[in-house]
Amino acid sequence: MKILIAEDEELTLKTLELRLKKDGHEVILARDGREAISKIQENLPDLVISDIMMPYVSGLEIIAEIKENLSDHKISIIILSGMGQEDIVLEAFQLGADDYITKPFSPNELTVRVRRFDLMKAR
Amino acid sequence: MADLLIRNAIFSEQEENADDNPFPITGRTTKMLSNKHFKRLLTKELISAKKNISGASAINLKKLYIQLHLNEDALAKLNSSEWHVKAQAIQELGIMEQKEYLNKIYRLTNNKNDLVRMEAQTNIVKLYGFKGLRFLDVISYQLTEWQQIALLKELSMLPPENFNKIEKWLKSKNTSVIAFALKLTRTYHRFELYDQVIECLSHENEEIRFEAIYTLEKIYNIDTADVLLERYEYETLKNQKAIVSVMQNIASDESIPMLISFLNQGDNDLKRMIVRTVAHINTSSLLQLKELQTAQEYPLEQIIKQIEGEIK
């Protein structure tokens, strides 16, 4: 799968990248929301994994952009949220997010969640 | 280099013997560890990673932290005379789940510096859950409103536990401990503490009575509305407003005449709250209000119209 990760924290970004590459995915990195939107439009990934709190453009705005302008491309979205951000997660789902992972997250859990989307895509 | 070390620890979860063996540390890294700037950067990165990663990878990060003796550095910082260094060390030990430093952190829960105190209290709860709240038995400094919220947030991340010390804290000499105990009572719906909460309604401290009123809203029974209405005339304006607000959720039609009688005093905001509460209990009671002698006068006339508009 082609996966775009939008995360402003370098170490988390690299951790996600390593794990997903190890799982055999093609990974595109974005370090802020603006870069994420531009790379999503350019690369049309199958899955976007995005943090909520990011510089310039938030994860919620990324979801809105995908749903409004790229809805023909069937891009799935997983949101990375902090503990106690239930309201924001709910808003993300209302905007069209498909799943969420709460930080701190286990890389193994990430693999399982991403695999689910991979299977759905293969069907 | 710090990044690489941490990433190796995160992904060594797949290794067969990861549990017992130390992580391989190169000679260059060992040398770099004598550089305090590198050590500081590594610690910062390690903490940041630990905040975002869970499961086996998080255990590995803890293991690496100890293997590099960074816990000993944190311990030294804990004894620093500078408050911000001390506060940072507490936070670090909390995030890295270093439970063996409980006693040292616990002693700081009543430190004279408010930020050290707050960090110590929050991290004790982070490490020990509800049991960590035992510092409430002894603290002499006040818990700020902000700190009370921070502690409740920390507790909300834990599975609820049947902790049994709230009754004792409701009788604390520290008024902020009583206020926090009342918040705990309502957050966890501790109905068995009803009588103790009622006692708090007679406390000399206005803030405690205020908290008690809002706590009763969550654990009320058939008598609560009457108890609060009886207290009303002895209360401050702030607490009268709290009582009227709580009545919206716990009162019945029988409370309406008494609530209407309160319209003779108080400011316009209180009067508006009373009319809204009365209408909320029973919308037809607005007719009762319109029959009052003062219903055609300022401000009641305007208030009734406003609330009528709200409930349409």
pLDDT tens per residue across span A64-85: 999 999 988 999 999 998 877 7
Which residue type occupies A41? Q
Task: Mark yes or no for CB contact A106/B10 under 8 Å.
Answer: no
The nearest CA of chain B is from the CA of A42 a distance in Å of: 29
pLDDT at B5: 87
Residues of A in contact with B11 (CB under 8 A): 18-19, 22, 107
Q: Structure tokens of B126?
A: 């982070």
What is the model's pLDDT at position B30? Answer: 87
Does the pTM exceed 0.90? no
Residue of A nearest to B10 (CA): A15
A12, A84, A104 member nearest B58 (Cβ): A104
Please give the CATH number for the structural domain made up of A2-122.
3.40.50.2300
Q: Which residues of chain B have pLDDT under 50?
A: 16-17
Query: Chain A contacts of B56, Cβ < 8 Å?
Result: 106, 108
* B143, B172 Cβ separation under 8 angstroms: no
Whether residue A104 and residue B11 make contact (CB cut-off 8 A), yes or no, is no
pLDDT digits (tens, 9 = 90+) for A34-65: 999 999 999 999 999 999 988 899 999 999 99
- Shortest Cα distance, chain A CAs vs residue B105, angstroms: 24
In this prediction, residue B17 carries a pLDDT of 45
Domain spans of chain A, in order of start: 2-122
**Rounded Cα gap, residues B197 and B205, in angstroms:** 14
CB of A18 within 8 Å of a chain B CB? The answer is yes
Among all residues of chain A, which has the CA nearest to that of B51?
A104
Q: Which residue of B has its CA nearest to A109?
A: B55
Nearest to A18 among B11, B49, B55 (CB): B11
Of B252, B268, B184, B258, nearest in space to B218 by CA = B184
The answer to whether the Cβ–Cβ distance between B52 and A104 falls below 8 Å is yes
* B51 at A interface, C-beta within 8 A: yes
- Judged by CB atoms closer than 8 Å, whether chains meet at A15 and B49 is answered as yes
Banded pLDDT at A121 (limits 50, 70, 90) = confident
**Beta partners for A6?**
A30, A50
B55 closest CB neighbour out of A18, A103, A108: A108
User: What is the side-by-side order of every strand in the sheet holding A99-102?
Assistant: A26-30, A2-6, A47-51, A76-81, A99-102
- A11–B11: do the CB atoms touch at under 8 Å? no
ipTM above 0.85, yes or no: no
Give the residue from B11, B47, B52 with the most A CB atoms within 10 Å of its CB, the best one to mutate.
Answer: B52
Contact pairs from chain A to chain B, CB under 8 Å: 58
- What are the respective helix, strand and coil percentages of chain A, to the nearest 5? 50, 20, 25
List CB contacts (< 8 A) between B7 and chain A.
11, 14-15, 18
Task: Note whether A15 contacts B: Cβ–Cβ < 8 A.
Answer: yes
Query: What average pLDDT score do residues A5-17 get?
Result: 92
What's the pLDDT score for residue A62?
96
What three-state secondary structure class fits B144?
A: coil
Residue A24 contacts B, CB cutoff 8 Å? no
At B13 the pLDDT is: 57
Residue A105: list chain B partners with CB under 8 A.
52-55
- Mean pLDDT score of chain A: 92
Residues contacting B292, CB < 8 A, separation 6+: B260, B263, B300
pLDDT at B10: 86
